Amino acid sequence: MTEVPAGRPLTVLLLAGQREGRVDPLAEATGVTLKAMVPVAGCPMLLHALTTLAKTPTVGRIVVSINAGSGIESLPEVAALIRDGRLDIRDARPNLVDSVFFALEGQEFPVLITTADNVLLTPATVREIDGAARARGADVAVALAGARTCSPPIRTASAGSTASAAATTPTATATGSARARRSRPRSCSAPAGSS
């Protein structure tokens, strides 16, 4: 196992893409193209996760893997993180494994991998998973939101193998009426009704 220095900042990979040609039912019901852009409490799921990661002190760099042409760069919160050098956007690949490898190419370890629909992720959960991974000498941890459990065991691994650490928050769901598809993603700071 690789020795991970305690003070090294955490890199987080936020998976926000979806398979080409697949229509996510939740995205379709809420009038957006990607599930990561489904509004929850007035802003896209992606921004809930990004906001949490940006305010977690141990997180250094955030990498978002999302479909090309998503338009997330136009969101003020995303643009600010890019300007600050904290966010890198990588085009998702045709499958999950290739997306992860492409997104993490050239990034610093340790890494936490989570998904954009993990809207109940908190800085405390990120710190807990990061701490458990570092204590085990892991290079990578994966935070998954479970629908039924709140405290599943944390599993981690060193470079070259798979790892997972379940987040201690349940999966959030969102509902909404069918609307015309938005041409641009909506920001959390955008006034209600804007697109």
Q: Strand (E) positions, the chain?
A: 10-15, 39-40, 43-44, 59-66, 87-91, 111-115, 140-146, 165-170
Structure tokens at 56: 């977690």
Secondary structure letter of residue 140 according to DSSP: E
Query: Which residues are 91's β-sheet partners?
Result: 66
3-state secondary structure 159-173: CCCCCCEEEEEECCC
The whole-model pTM stands at 0.73
Would you write out the chain's pLDDT as a tens digit for each of its 195 residues? 344 445 789 999 999 988 777 888 888 888 888 888 888 998 899 999 999 999 999 999 999 999 998 889 999 999 999 999 999 999 999 999 999 999 999 999 999 999 998 888 999 999 999 999 999 999 999 987 665 544 444 444 444 443 333 333 332 222 222 233 333 445 565 333 333
Contact 150, 119 (CB under 8 A): no
Structure tokens at 111: 């890494």
- Its CATH architecture, for the domain 10-170, is Alpha-Beta Complex (3.90)
